[in-house]
Amino acid sequence: MSIFSSVSPNSMPNRVLPVLGLLALALVWLLELGVIQPNRIVPGTGHGLWSAVGGAGAGLVSLILAGCVVLSLLPVRRRYLPLLALVGLSLALLPLLLEVFAGRHLPEDAPYARSSIGAGFWCLLFLLSLMLIEILGRLGSGRGLQLLILAVISGSWLWFLRSDGLESLSLVREFNARPDKFEQAFWTHMALAFGAVGISACLAFLLALKMIRSVVWRRPILGAVSFLQTIPSLAVFGLLIAPLSALAAAFPALQAIGIRGIGWAPALLALVAYSLLPMVRNTFVALTEVPESLADAGRGMGMNERQLFFKLKLPLALPVMVEGVRITTIQAIGLTAVAALIGAGGFGSFIFQGLGQAAMDLVLLGALPTIALALLADALLTMLAAILKPTPATA
Amino acid sequence: MIELKNVTRRFGDAVAVDRINLTVESGEVCVLVGSSGCGKSTTLRMINQLLPHSEGEILVDGKDVTAMNPEQLRLNMGYVIQGTGLFPHWTVARNIAMVPQLLKWPRERIDERVHELLTLLDLDPATHANKYPQQLSGGQAQRVGVARALAANPNILLMDEPFGALDAITRENLQLEMLRIQSQLRKTTVFVTHDIDEALRLATRIAVMDRGRIIQHDTPENILRRPASDFVENLVGKQDRGLKLMSLRTVRDLMQSYPQPRQPEPGADGLKEADSLRVALSIMLWQNWNQVPVFNADGEETGTITRERIIREGA
């Protein structure tokens, strides 16, 4: 036993963490940590690590990163827990760097001056996140711990972003200028993305059932949903304007519930069309791949077709179907941002507004929550699929 | 009782089962044996109507199966298939409880029955009830498959090459287990196999099938002694027929019994009453014994058996 544990992977020097740590150390010194702008449009002046947070701050950041590198190289078995604490805490307290930076450099008498996040900070955030993922993987941690860490880090970020110290941050300024619109955009985005996923999930289920029942329909249905997937998304949004306008003009009742050539109706239709392929394919494959010998056994024991479906086929197919929902949800959250082009609203509207005004921070205000939503949906649905997985991992 | 009268099954133009007549009496084990594609599985699957028959009549306890609701029909027949067909997302206990649950038995009665069946099949309920099928060995999984078939205490048991995928030792263990269970429960059983030794061991009567027809339907002994055709003769094996006949009979048949069972001398070697004559002869040849004591299941010495008698009258 002792022979095995001395060469177990957890006591070997880690190769991923030192590389990530050293890269972070190099980039945080080479790139600008933050930028001070006199107002919203004028390009600002960048500050490196030393200048941004002072000698003490720069020293602390370097020390933590160097500490991670050294710790991960040590051939000690129980080093992943301290590493987890170190990296997790760094991630949670990362906004503190921006707060110190704003406090040191923001001119007192300039109400329009703002601080914004530099490339160095983004790199630090990204590399620390990668390190966290690597450490969690090595620890083989359960879902509970992962969720807890995620909650602690995002909670800490929210707390920092709402506090006074980061009020000068351009992202916060953009948000503070339009909190109502942000909330509205959030709900619109959610409603569009998840509405589309919900509708297409139901449709896909029915289509997959049809495909299973009659072989004749298999090729046409798969062909149609594949074809829908090949049209460029912008083109679908555009192409739907004319027919929907005509429809709305012909039936005023439709207009009354908000169906027009632009707005949520064409966006939802396009999103549903895009979501169909992964859902139909996964549902069909999952349901047809249930071994015939199991169905035979069930039938031979006296199950009717309805019982076979609900007790055998559906439970075995569910994880694969949820996988389809996961892919579709991530795709739909991203596509909903594009749907802002035809006036559907959502976070995409900030992105396109920001692009129009050359205000990158406004673009970020749209892009960051979209990314966060997608990552969150991905994590939750992956977990759901793992929970639904019918059989234990140990064979 | 199961009766097949002039039953035919066609797949398109191909005739899989050709006007067969077969009667399986209550409590007997009828083994359908033959090479693959001879129609034996098709015959079995027509009895529980997983395959409807094209022509003829199938009666179960005197009632025509086509007149019954197929689900009701199957709920009263245990069904065991090769590769177990256990549901991978259900625990062993839930798999066994499948039919009682379909029959809406109360919870406590189901739990009690599952416990009883696991014990009957020599599986410890405490360690096995909550395992998943893929955590079991092949032999354990097939025991669970048999337990599932017996769960609602059906009168009829249909077994489609249940031990076909198991290794020789596990298969033999399960065959012995089945003989033991059958001697307690006396289910009307139809058993499909391509293994003639398995058929000879388990069957009350064997139906030899070839190209959709029943060539011979008789007891194992008659199949061995009087094969109806060259096909049957080849199937049972011409050369070791004598030994096969010996394996049908037990030491009990040819032993010289004492008037009273005796307490054996400590450490005495011997044979058991339930050993087959084939095993007995093999042991006696190997140990170079001419006469040995015979013990009953309780370990008492009940008589003796001689090598000459086995050789003279065994086959």
Region of poorest pLDDT, from A174-188, A258-272, A379-393, B161-175? A379-393
Q: Which of A297, A307, A311 sits opposite B81 (nearest CB)?
A: A297
d(CA A227, CA B295): 79
Which residues of chain A are at the B interface, by a Cβ-Cβ cutoff of 8 Å? 293-294, 296-304, 307, 311-312, 315-316, 390-392, 394-395
Model confidence band, residue A141 (pLDDT cutoffs 50, 70, 90) = confident
- Name which residue leads in pLDDT, A285 or A11: A285
Inter-chain contact B71–A303, Cβ cutoff 8 Å? yes
The token pair that represents A86 in the structure block: 């170190």
Distance, in angstroms, between A394 CA and closest chain B CA? 8
Write the residue in A294, A300, A315 that is nearest to B79 by C-beta: A300
pLDDT digits (tens, 9 = 90+) for A75-127: 777 888 889 999 999 999 999 998 889 888 888 777 788 888 889 999 999 99
For B102, which of A303, A315, A395 is closest by C-beta distance? Answer: A303
From the CA of B129, how many Å to the nearest CA of chain A? 15
Nearest to A348 by CA among A371, A330, A320: A371
- Asked if A300 lies within 8 A of B71 by C-beta distance, the reply is no
Helices (H), A163-178: 170-177
Q: Which residues of A touch B79 (CB under 8 A)?
A: 297, 300-301
- Asked if the Cβ–Cβ distance from A303 to B148 is below 8 Å, we say no
Chain A residues with CB under 8 Å of B84 CB are 297
Which residues of chain B lie closer than 8 angstroms to A296, CB-CB? 50, 81, 85
Residue B143 Cα, gap to closest chain A Cα (Å): 15
Per the CB < 8 Å rule, is B79 touching A304? no
Interface residue of B69, B89, B134 to substitute, partner A, most A CBs within 10 Å: B89
Q: Do A301 and B74 touch (CB under 8 A)?
A: yes
Alpha-carbon distance of B224 to B201, in angstroms, equals 12
Chain-chain contact of B88 with A391 (C-beta, under 8 angstroms): yes
For A297, the closest chain B residue by CA position comes to B85
The reported pLDDT for the residue numbered A162 is 85
What tens-digit pLDDT sequence spans chain B (315 residues)?
999 999 999 998 889 999 999 999 999 999 999 988 899 999 999 999 999 999 999 999 989 999 999 999 999 999 998 888 899 999 999 999 999 999 999 999 999 999 999 998 889 999 999 999 989 998 899 999 999 999 999 999 999 999 988 888 888 889 988 998 898 889 999 999 999 989 998 999 999 999 999 999 999 989 988 999 999 988 888 788 888 888 888 888 888 888 888 887 777 788 888 888 888 888 888 888 888 888 888 888 888 888 888 888 877
User: Could you state, in order of their start, the residue ranges of all structural domains in chain B?
Assistant: 2-239, 251-313
CA distances for B38 relative to B33, B44, B50, angstroms: 9, 12, 18
Using the beta-carbon criterion (under 8 Å), do B74 and A315 form an inter-chain contact?
no
Residue A78 CA, chain-centre distance (Å), reads 31
Residue (of B161, B84, B143, B145) closest to A293 by Cα position: B84
> Minimal Cα–Cα distance from A214 to chain B, Å?
20
The helix (H) or strand (E) run that includes residue B96 is: helix B92-96
pLDDT, position A54: 87
Nearest chain A residue to B103 by CA: give it.
A302
Q: Which residue has the tokens 């921006």?
A: A98
Dihedrals φ, ψ of B120, to 5°?
A: -60, -40
Question: What chain A residue is nearest to B69 in terms of C-alpha separation?
Answer: A302
Looking at chain A, the whole-number percentage of residues with pLDDT higher than 70 is 96
Contacts A390 to B, Cβ<8 Å: 88-89
| Bridge partner list, B8 | B55
Nearest neighbour of B79 by CB, restricted to A301, A391, A392: A301
pLDDT at A7 over 70: no
The pLDDT, as a whole number, for residue A8 is 53
Residue A10 confidence class, pLDDT cut points 50, 70, 90: low
Q: Which residue of B has its CA nearest to A390?
A: B89
Average pLDDT over residues A138-150: 82
- Which is the CATH superfamily of the domain at B251-313? CBS-domain (3.10.580.10)
Rounded CA-CA distance A374/A166 in Å is 25
The reply to whether residue B86 touches residue A297, judged by beta carbons under 8 angstroms, is: yes
Asked if residue A248 lies in contact with residue A254, where contact means CB atoms within 8 angstroms, the answer is yes
**Does the beta-carbon distance from A391 to B85 stay under 8 Å?**
no
Taking the CA of residue A5 and the nearest CA in chain B, the distance in Å comes to 26
Q: Inter-chain contact A302–B75, Cβ cutoff 8 Å?
A: yes
Is the confidence at residue A332, as pLDDT, over 90? yes
Written as six digits, the tokens of B230 are 């060259």
B168 to chain A, closest Cα gap in Å: 23
Closest chain A CA to residue B95: A298
Residues from B contacting A (CB-CB < 8 Å) are 48, 50, 71-75, 79, 81, 83-89, 98-99, 102, 132, 134-135, 148-149, 158
Using the structure block, give the residue that is written with the tokens 């795709």: A331
Distance CA B130, CA A180 (A): 53
Contact between residue B133 and residue B144 where contact means Cβ atoms under 8 Å apart: yes
Residue B138, exposed/middle/buried by CB under 10 A (0-12, 13-18, 19+)?
A: middle
pLDDT digits (tens, 9 = 90+) for B18-76: 999 999 999 999 999 998 889 999 999 999 999 999 999 999 998 999 999 999 999 99
In chain A, pLDDT over 90 holds for what percent of residues? 34
- Residue B206 forms beta bridges with which residues? B31, B218
The CATH architecture one would assign to domain B2-239 is 3-Layer(aba) Sandwich (3.40)
Quick check: B102 and A391 CB within 8 A?
Answer: no
Question: pLDDT tens digits, residue range A347-366?
Answer: 999 999 999 888 888 898 99
Domains and CATH numbers, chain A: 16-175 (no CATH), 179-388 (1.10.3720.10)
How does pLDDT run across B2-26, given as a tens digit for each residue? 999 999 999 988 899 999 999 999 9
Give A300's contacts in chain B (Cβ within 8 Å). 48, 50, 74, 79, 81, 85, 158
Residues in B touching A311 (Cβ below 8 Å): 87
Q: Which of A293, A303, A391 sits opposite B81 (nearest CB)?
A: A293
Does the global pTM surpass 0.90?
no
Q: Do the Cβ atoms of A302 and B83 come within 8 Å? A: no
Whether B88 and A390 lie within 8 Å, measured CB to CB:
yes
Residues sharing a CB contact under 8 Å with residue B57, sequence separation 6 or more, in sequence order: B3, B4, B5, B6, B7, B64
Tens-digit pLDDT profile for residues A236-282: 888 888 888 888 888 888 787 777 778 888 889 889 988 888 899 88
Q: Residue A2: is its pLDDT beyond 60? A: no
Q: How far is A310 from chain B (nearest CA, A)?
A: 13
Q: Each residue of B275-287: b (16+ CB within 10 Å) or e? A: bbbbbbbeebeee
Residue among A296, A299, A312 minimizing CB distance to B87: A312
